Each structure stands twice: as C-alpha cells, then as structure tokens.
Chain A
C-alpha cells in the first residue's frame, strides 16, 4: 500500500488539457482569475478607445468628428464599460487569484458557480458593445441612465439593461462565492482579525455587492417596464416621479463607488508594508475604517442629487453624512503614511503605483470634500469638476491600485519577474499623463463647463486642448502595459522569480507556496502558529 501513496506527488501536474475547452470548462480559481483579468483588460482598452474618441472631439471647439447623439453614446458607453466591464471584473479577478492563496484554501468554495459567474460576462459585454450596431445606436442617456431620458432611447437601451442584469447576476454570484470562501475555508489559526487586509476589504465589498446589485436590477427593471409595458414608475403624467429613479439609482450607485475602491485599499494595504519592510500600522483600525466606510456608503446617496431641489433638512442630512466619510478615509491614509514612516523603503513598480495611488487618490478625496459642501456643489454639480473628481478616484484610485496589485503578484502567478525598467516607465508615463488629462478639468468645472457636451464655448478651449493631449498620452501608455503583461505572462519572458521575491511580503502565498503557485495549491491546509 505504501508504495501507492506517494507523499511527494506533485499535484500541480493535474492540469487539464490545453486548448479552448480548458478555459471554457475550468473550475480552477487561478484559471478563472486569469480569465477575469484578461476580460477586464480587454474592456479597459475598448472603453479607453471610446474615451479617446471623446477627447478627440473635445480637442477644439466646434463639431469635428461626431454628431452630438453619437457623442452622447460615446460618453455613456465609456462609463458603463469602464465601471461594469473593466474595474469591477478586474477586482473579482484579483479576488479569485488571491483570496484562496492568502487564506490557505485550495480553491473557491463554489468552483462551478465560479466558472458560471465569469462566463456570463462575455455575453453581457457582447450585448453592451453590440448595442452600437442596432438601429439608433447604443444608449445615449449617460451611464446613470436617468429616466425619462432613458425611456426615449432606442433598442440600444434595452440591450444595455439586459447586459446590466447579467453583469449584476454575475457580481452577486461572485460575491456569494467570495464570502463563503472567506468565512469557511480559512486555514486553522487564521482568525478573522488575522486575515490579510486585502481579504478583509473583499469580504466587506462582497457584502456591499449583494446589498446593492439587486437595487440596480430593480431600477432598470422598472425602466424596462416603463419603456415597453405602459407602467409609469418614472413618468409624472402617470403618477410616477423621475426623481425616484435617481434615488434608487444612487442608493445602488454610491455603495458601487466603494465597491470599486475598497479592494483597491486592500491591495495598497498589502503593497505598502511589503516595500516598507514594516508591518501595516493600525491593522484593526484599518478594518474598522473599511467597515465604517461601507456602512456610511448607504446613507449618503443623495449628495449626487443636491440640485434636484430637496427639502433643506434632507440636504443638511446628506451633507453632514457625506463629510463624515472623510474621517475613516483619513484614518486609512494616515495609517499608510505611518506604515511608511521609519521603514526601509524600496521603490519597485508596485510600490511606485501604491505611493502614486496615495498621492492622487487623496487629491480625489479633497475634491470629494469640496463637492460634499452643498453650496459649492451647486456651482460644480454636473460640470467638469465632477468629471475630474471621479477620474481621480477611479483611475488614479482603482486603476492604479490594480496596476500595483498586478506588478506585486505577477511573480507569484507566473513564476517570472516583469520587466522592471518598463514597469517604471509605465508608472511615470501613466502618472504624468493622468494629471495632464484630468487636472485641467478642475478649472473647466470651476469656470462652469457642463459635462457630457460635444462642443463648448471658446473660454473653455485652452484647458480642453491640454486635457485631450494628456488623454492620448495616457491611452498610449497603456499599450506599454499590454506589452509588459504579454511579456511576463504569455511569452514567459523575464528572470525566474523566487518563492518570495519581495523581502517584506509575509502573507501565505509568499511564505508557503513556490513561484509560480502550483495549479492546485494548499491541498493540505497550512497551520498558522
């Protein structure tokens, strides 16, 4: 008998056959994570091309390239694709790869559900992008699809609604999987308050997703029945209320904002200590701050609607609740800085992106504080200031944290180091062009340029020109990232990575697994001391 049981048996040889069916039928968390990441990067490039089409039109006053209605389709689809196709799936990809590795679990709790939640996404993306080609084109009602403008749209709107439904279902299934995995499959000894912060932030994010994705589904279903089945949820002539759509949408929409940033906070909280060679400062306060941000996110939604004409009491409540968010967010930034303080820092690409994240994300936080003060928001609501603000938190926040996470973990995923020199180039180009693109938009907003317009008055010409130049620089810099990613993953170039290439990294994937992590990892549970 003992001859049969080979304790040195290498489980990573249990790979499925190659070919397309490996990816279609896979239930392996690493394969699915990879699928998520490539999917989201593809969508990032699609959404990015739309953004460049927008900036090309806005390079100069006058209409040069697009009709106004097509311009509206561009802004709308850019938003929808980036939010639901790029940022959200990218974080789920990170969760798939990293959550089992960081808690010492062999895979996700529901492996087949995992496969299903991914493979719904390409279907949804096809519907969404394909809506450009139906009569009337894609929806042009803005990514917020406010009624009753969205009830005027053509069949492109219906395709978008179905796409959002599918993506929502995918998110909910993914979240159930993540929560179940984290709560039930941690290695012995890993109590909740010993989990890595990335795992914590995803646990909280997953609860947010389960709470609000059904709310979005409700809103767009009501929209659908208003469009086709004669209901009047959002039509005053039938007893409905257009503003109710906004309340429901933003009850989803504000937690959604944190869904897109909390896992980013998690990644930064892994990278900063690793490259400071010093434990994270204030671990438990980080956990509590994340949880309080999540709770507060449910009671601030109407700050997106300060100009709809709310009663004074409502305005005051939402303004006070909104500024409160600055407290836990500030705690996080201070904790990161104190982690760096008196550390022994080195600045490889993940750390560059993490420090860059803190710098630019904090600026987005500052403008958020400005916008929270309702009288100032009266001037800035629906202007380019808002555009600047949310790109500071979503591009410099979410996207930069994703880049930091990619450079940080790719040695563990592939067993190879990425090209450090090109990585640094990627960081500096992204950082500089990001600010060239979006910083001038603050001034445009202060001067009163409305968002979502295809043409503008002459006084806005100067800053728009600068922003467009920056946008093309930023877009091209991401081609460099594509090359870096292809080199280290598909082409398998780069020097071999050791088990623990980062000196200060101390979570399970670095301490217990070789690089690359075997196809089946943690067949035996690691035990924490």
Chain B
C-alpha cells in the first residue's frame, strides 16, 4: 500500500515536473553548458540588484508616507551620487560582457568538424543532407509524425506530442557536427535547446552552426521562426547514438537509398502510379490543398475541379516543379524525384472529381525539368 502510494506520488511529481519546467533544459553540449551557467550568473546579479533596489523602494514606501506624518525633504541634486550609480552598473556590465564574449567566440567556431550536415527548411518540414564525414550522401526529409486526430482532439495525445518525426537526424556521440542551414521558401530557424543551438535558415543563403553532443539520447526542438501556417508543426528530432550504432544506421540508410532508387525509364500504369502519388500528396501537399482537394478558401486553391489540374499537363508540371511566385506554392522540383512528381501529378489528375485518365510518366518530368 505504502509502496503503491509512493509510486503514485512519484508519478504525480514527475507529471508536475513535465508540465512545469522552470529553467533551461539540461545541457548536453559544452556550449549549452556555458549558456546555462551564464544565465545562472546573470540571474544571481539581477537578484542582488533587485533586492537592493526594491528593498530601498519598499522601505521608503513604508517609512516616508504622508499618512505616517513623514515630512518631505527638499534635496534634488547630487552629482557625486549620480556619477557613482552610472559607473557601478557600467563595471558590472563589463564583468558579464567578458565571459559572454568568450562564449561567443566558442559558439561561432565551426572549424574542423567531423561530420557536416545540411539542414534545409521547407514549408513545413526539414530536409537533411549528410555532406561530409561518415554517412556522406545520406539524404532524407523529416516530417511531423504526430497523427492529425491527436491535434484536433480525436485521440489522446502521445508523450512526445508535436515533438516527434518520421525520420530523425542521427549523429554519433562526441563528434563535432557542423550544421549548414538554408531554406527553400521562407526563413525558418533550427533550434535544439539541449545543444544550445538556434540558427535561422535563410532562403538563398547558407549559414552554419555546430554542436558536439556529449550524451546519447533523443533531443527535440522546433522551428523557431514564424514560417507560415504550420510553423508550429515542424519539429526537429536529433538522435545521438554510439559510434557503432551510427555506423549501423549509415549502412542501413545506404541500403534503403539503393532499394528505393527508381528506374527512371520505367513505364508505370495508372493504378500503381496513383497509389504512389497518394503517399507523395499526403507528405507534401495535404497541409494546404487538404485531403479532400478543396484547399482553404481564400488562402490555398482547390485542386478538385481546378482548371489547371484538368487542363494541359505542361502547365501543371511547371507549377509543381518551379512553384508559384508570391504564394506558398514551393518549387517541389528541388525536393522530389521525377517519379514522385509524376506520381503526384497523376494522382491529382485522377482523384476526387478529376477524371482525366492521363498517366504522366517520369520521363516526361525529366524533360520538363530542362
């Protein structure tokens, strides 16, 4: 009985802890550790000033009231005092600027990394390309894996609600990982609090940051720069694993890539290509154009019954490949293979009320890219 109560209490306090986190997350990199300590030092200084300043203020409110008969004095100038209370804060500031500067020099030093990974922000997911070091050549997209009915309240929310993805970024423990950041459409930001990392991903530019995780585990973050509709739904998950596990992961990824490679000259039939297109649609298009193809009135156009989708195929291929300027329609040619683009176009042209009966072959996409 006592044991059960104890366990229940423990569970309760753990739940409370989960719902009320008071401080920065436990750091797992040196940079995050430095930030954690810097914040503690700053809070200490602030607390001392707070107590000093407001101690004086509340004492004065208590003692120098008219209602207790305190008579006002008339002093209103004192150069010496003014100089002192300008200089003391100045010295304190120099005191904190020094460790902050050292920390900045450290966190900006992205040289001599073991592994380089490019992270690309898309509306609304992340793409990872392993550019250098062990795992070079691996490339995948990382989508939110929380089911829609958890978000809309149809199902109970899981433990890692909104902080879980289908394909996490995997890195080895203790290695310096340099992350190159860029974006495909608008500005995103790549943030993993446990690493002390946050870097904007800017379309058309490449910026970098780095981390060296000192502990294995799964670390979670979110996009930190407003990037449109699903800004709140593009989490970042980094799995830090041992060197052996990392090597196994790399081998597995390479095999997957080889197996998934499509024969670009294959002739597809309608049913197979449509089935594949449905998956591509669910991963890339559904956020705006919706599962029923109706879009969102005023914001995102409907595909069901759309003139474009039922019209000449060339125009639709051009928009899917190159995007539409001035709208949220991204150029998917950069993200998707010829087969995927062909599949998703075939799907939209033969689904809902659209019945063109056309099959778009990957070879057509290849020539449309030129």
Contact = CB atoms under 8 A, between A and B. Distances in A.
Interface of A: 61-64, 67-69, 72, 135-137, 140-142, 146, 148-149, 151-152, 154, 227, 235-237, 241-243, 276-283, 285, 307-309, 312, 315-316, 319-320, 323-324, 326-328, 330-331, 333-334, 337-347, 355, 358-359, 362-363, 366, 369-370, 373-376, 378-379, 381-383, 443, 446-448, 450-459, 461-463, 504
B18 A151 contact: no
Closest 5 CB pairs of A and B: A236-B204, A453-B232, A309-B207, A462-B19, A447-B21
A236 B203 contact: yes
Contacts, number: 304
24 contacts: A61-B157, A62-B152, A62-B153, A237-B204, A278-B73, A285-B82, A307-B199, A308-B207, A315-B104, A319-B97, A326-B89, A334-B85, A375-B107, A378-B197, A379-B32, A381-B224, A443-B21, A448-B191, A448-B193, A450-B232, A452-B226, A457-B220, A458-B19, A458-B157
B25 A448 contact: yes
B157 A359 contact: no
Contacts of A456: 162, 232
B222 interface: yes
Contacts of B78: 281-282
Contacts of A227: 326
Nearest to B34: A375
Given A379-B198, A448-B25, A358 B18 contact: no
B299 interface: yes
Given A341-B60, A342-B73, A282 B224 contact: no
B46 A366 contact: yes
A309 B187 CA distance: 12
A338 B100 CA distance: 32
Nearest to B202: A242
B159 interface: yes
A461 B73 contact: no
Contact of B233 (A146, A276, A312, A455): A455
A63 B152 contact: yes
Contacts of A281: 75-78
B73 A148 contact: no
Interface string B148-191: 00111100010111110000000000000000010001110101
A344 B71 contact: yes
A385 B24 CA distance: 11
Nearest to B182: A236
Contacts of B57: 337, 340, 355, 358-359
B228 A149 contact: yes
B266 interface: no
B5 interface: no
Contact of A443 (B20, B53, B103, B328): B20
Sorting the interface of chain B by its residue count into under 10, 10 to 19, 20 to 34 or 35 or more gives 35 or more
Interface string B48-86: 011001101100110011110011111111100110011
A151 B326 contact: yes
B162 A457 contact: yes
Nearest to B105: A312
Interface stretch (B35-43, B242-250, B268-276, B337-345): B35-43
| Majority secondary structure, B binding face | mixed
B64 A369 contact: no
A149 B226 contact: yes
A337 B56 contact: yes
A358 B54 CA distance: 10
B203 A148 contact: yes
Given A278-B74, A307-B224, A453-B232, 11 more contacts: A62-B151, A67-B296, A72-B229, A146-B225, A241-B204, A308-B200, A309-B207, A327-B93, A369-B42, A375-B34, A456-B232
Contacts of A447: 21-25, 193
A35 B39 CA distance: 46
Nearest to B32: A379
A140 B67 CA distance: 52
A503 to B, nearest CB: 9
Contact of B298 (A154, A315, A379, A457): A154
Contacts of A450: 191, 222-224, 231-232
B72 A309 contact: no
A376 B228 contact: no
Contact of B226 (A137, A146, A242, A315): A146
A372 to B, nearest CB: 9
B138 interface: no
A359 B246 CA distance: 53
Contacts of A141: 226
A62 B70 CA distance: 56
B153 A64 contact: yes
Given A68-B233, A319-B97, A344 B42 contact: no
Contact of B72 (A277, A379, A446): A277
Given A62-B152, A68-B229, A330-B89, A373 B100 contact: yes
Given A67-B296, A370-B42, A379-B193, A446 B21 contact: yes
B108 interface: yes
A63 B185 CA distance: 25
Nearest to B17: A459
B200 A309 contact: yes
Contacts of B81: 338
B208 interface: yes
A95 B18 CA distance: 49
Contacts of B220: 457
Contacts of B21: 443, 446-447, 459
Contacts of B103: 375
Contacts of A461: 19
Contacts of B327: 152
B101 interface: yes
